[in-house]
Amino acid sequence: MNLTPHGPAGLAEIEQISQRAELALEKIRGTLLSPDAVKKAPVWNASQLGHFVGMDRAKVSYHAKKGQVPEGTLPEGSSRKIWSTAELQQWTRKFRSENLRPSDQPAVTVAVANFKGGVSKTTTAAHLAQGLSLRGHKVLLVDVDPQASLTTLCGLLPGVEIDEEHTLSPLFSGEQSDASYAVRPTYWPDLDLIPAMTRLYAAEFKLPARQKDDPSFEFWRALDLGLDPLRDVYDVIVIDSSPSLSYMTINALMAADGLVIPVQASNLDFASLSQFWSLYLDIARSLSDLRGDEKRFEFVDIVLSRVKPKNATAGAAVRSWIRDVYAGRVLSTEVPESETVTNAGLGFGTIYDLPKSQVDADTYARAFDAYEAFVDEVESEIVGVWNNWRAA
Ligand SMILES: Nc1ncnc2c1ncn2[C@@H]1O[C@H](COP(=O)(O)OP(=O)(O)OP(=O)(O)O)[C@@H](O)[C@H]1O
Ligand SMILES: [Mg+2]
C-alpha cells in the first residue's frame, strides 16, 4: 500500500482538477450518448403502450387500426410495431382523459425535498416527471439545485450548455419576475426544463441582500410568483431541490402545492427527517407571521427510497418506525435499491430511458413496476387536488 502523503493543494491545482473533471464529463457524455451526444426519448412496443392505456395487445392493435390514435410504425426487418414517446402520449391523452388537468384548473406544483443528501430526490423527480408525461400530462421540471444533477439527467451539460443566465438566477436576483424566460424543451416530448448550474448558488446571497435593501421584498415568494404565468401552460410542475435548508429550498417549498419526500430506511435518515420537520416548522411559522396566512400543502407524501432487500433486518425496523410516525403519509410503494436504476443513472438517464432489451427482464421489471406504482400514487394525489380546487 502507498502511504506517501499526497501533499497540499492550492487553488491552481484545484482549478486544474476542476478543468480535468469537466473535460472528463464531456467525454463520458459524448461516449454514452454517441454518435451525436444528444439524448433521444425511447420508443415503445405494443405491450408497453398497452400498459400505459390499460389495454392488452389485441385491443391496442384494434385501436391502432381505427385511426383515431397513431397507428405505430414497423421498423425495417421487424414484424412488431413501435410507437414514439410523443405517439404514446397521444394514446394516453385519449384513453386516460379522466386523469388530465381540467381546463379551468392550474398546474399542480410538486416539490421533491429532503435536507438529507443522496436520498434519491433528483432520481425521484426525474422518474415522476417522465412517468406523468407518459400518462398524458404536460410537465415542467424545475432544477433549483446548483449541483444541477436534474439538468444533467435531462441531457444538458451545466457550465457548457447552461450558463447562469439560463437558470433561475435572474429571477432570484430580480432582473426577471416571470420564470418563463428560463424554460427550454428537453429531448423528451411534453417535458420542459428550467435548468440549473453551479453559479445559481449566487442566489443564496442575492435573496437576503434584496430583502435587506427592500424590507417589503418577500424572498420566499420569488419562485412562487415567478412560476405563476406557467401554471396555465403546464399540468404538473416538478421542482427538484438541494439537500440543505437554503433560501432556494424555502422558495421551492413555498412554491409547491404538494411535497414528495424520499427517505431511506436508515437510522440517520430517520433522524434527519425529524429535523427537517422541526426546521420547516420554525421557518414556516415565522413566514406565516409575516405573510399573515398559513402555508398549507395539499399533500405530503413520504416515499421509502433505495430500499434494500426485505431481509435486511435493520432496514425493516426503521421502515416500520417511519410508517408509524408518518402514518397515512407514507406511500404504499417502496422504491427498491436497484442496480438497474444505478446503471440508468450512470448513463445519465432513468428507468424509462433504458432500452429494456439491455437489462435482465426481472431486474428491470422490479424497478419499472416500483416507479410506475409510485407515479400512480402521486398522480392520484394530483387528480385529487384538481377535484378539491374545483369543489372549493
Ligand atoms: N432506487 C435506486 N436504486 C439505486 N440507485 C439509486 C436509486 N435512486 C437513486 N439512486 C442513486 O443514488 C445516487 C443519489 O441519487 P440522487 O442524486 O437522486 O439523490 P439526491 O437526493 O438528489 O442527492 P442530492 O442530495 O445530492 O441532491 C445516484 O447515484 C443515483 O443514481
Ligand atoms: Mg439531487
Report pLDDT for 277: 87
Average pLDDT, the chain: 90
Pick the ligand that lies closest to the CA of residue 306.
1
Report pLDDT for 170: 98
Closest Cα to atom 8, ligand 1: which residue?
120
SS3 for the chain is CCCCCCCCCCHHHHHHHHHHHHHHHHHHHHHHCCCCCCCCCCEEEHHHHHHHHCCCHHHHHHHHHHCCCCCCECCCCCCCCEEEHHHHHHHHHHHCHHHCCCCCCCCEEEEECCCCCCCCHHHHHHHHHHHHHHCCCCEEEEECCCCCHHHHHCCCCECCCECHHHCCHHHHHCCCCCHHHHCEECCCCCEEEECCCHHHHHHHHHHHHHHHHCCCCCHHHHHHHHHHHHCCCCCEEEEECCCCCCHHHHHHHHHCCEEEEEEECCHHHHHHHHHHHHHHHHHHHHHHHHHCCCCCCCEEEEEEEEECCCCCHHHHHHHHHHHHHCCCCEEEEEEECCHHHHHHHHCCCCCCCCCHHHCCHHHHHHHHHHHHHHHHHHHHHHHHHHHHHHHC
Given pLDDT bands bounded at 50, 70 and 90, which one contains residue 31?
A: low
Report pLDDT for 32: 59
Q: Is 143 in the pocket of ligand 1 (CB under 6 A)?
A: no
The CATH 1.10.1660.10 domain(s) of the chain lie at 43-95
Q: Is 342 in the pocket of ligand 1 (CB under 6 A)?
A: yes
Atom of ligand 1 minimally distant from the CA of 262: 21
Report pLDDT for 36: 53
Q: Would the pLDDT of 356 be above 90?
A: no
pLDDT per position as a tens digit, 363-390: 888 899 999 999 999 999 999 999 999 9
Q: Is 337 in the pocket of ligand 1 (CB under 6 A)?
A: yes
Given pLDDT bands bounded at 50, 70 and 90, which one contains residue 357?
A: low
Atom of ligand 1 minimally distant from the CA of 124: 18
Report pLDDT for 269: 84
pLDDT per position as a tens digit, 217-274: 999 999 999 999 999 999 999 999 999 889 999 999 999 999 999 998 887 888 888 8
pLDDT per position as a tens digit, 117-151: 999 999 999 999 999 999 999 999 999 999 999 99
pLDDT per position as a tens digit, 87-112: 999 999 999 999 999 999 999 999 99
Q: Is 169 in the pocket of ligand 1 (CB under 6 A)?
A: no
Residue with more model confidence, 331 or 33: 331
The CATH 3.40.50.300 domain(s) of the chain lie at 105-391
pLDDT per position as a tens digit, 146-197: 999 999 999 888 888 899 999 999 999 999 999 999 999 999 999 999 999 9
Q: What is the CATH number of domain 105-391?
A: 3.40.50.300
Q: Is 144 in the pocket of ligand 1 (CB under 6 A)?
A: no
Mean pLDDT lowest among 12-21, 207-216, 222-231, 325-334: 12-21
Q: Is 112 in the pocket of ligand 1 (CB under 6 A)?
A: no
Lookup: cell for 283: 421557518
Question: Which of 120, 121, 343 has the most ligand 1 atoms within 8 A of CB, as the residue to mutate?
Answer: 120
Question: Which of 114, 123, 242 has the most ligand 1 atoms within 8 A of CB, as the residue to mutate?
Answer: 123
Give the whole-angstrom CA distance, residue 245 versus residue 253.
10
- Residues forming beta bridges with residue 185, ordered by sequence position: 192
Q: Is 241 in the pocket of ligand 1 (CB under 6 A)?
A: no
Report pLDDT for 29: 67
Q: Which residues surround ligand 2, an ion (CB under 5 A)?
A: 121-122, 149
Report pLDDT for 1: 65
- Residues forming beta bridges with residue 304, ordered by sequence position: 263, 334
Q: What is the CATH number of domain 43-95?
A: 1.10.1660.10
78 Cα to the center of ligand 2, angstroms: 40
Report pLDDT for 35: 47
Lookup: cell for 323: 410508517
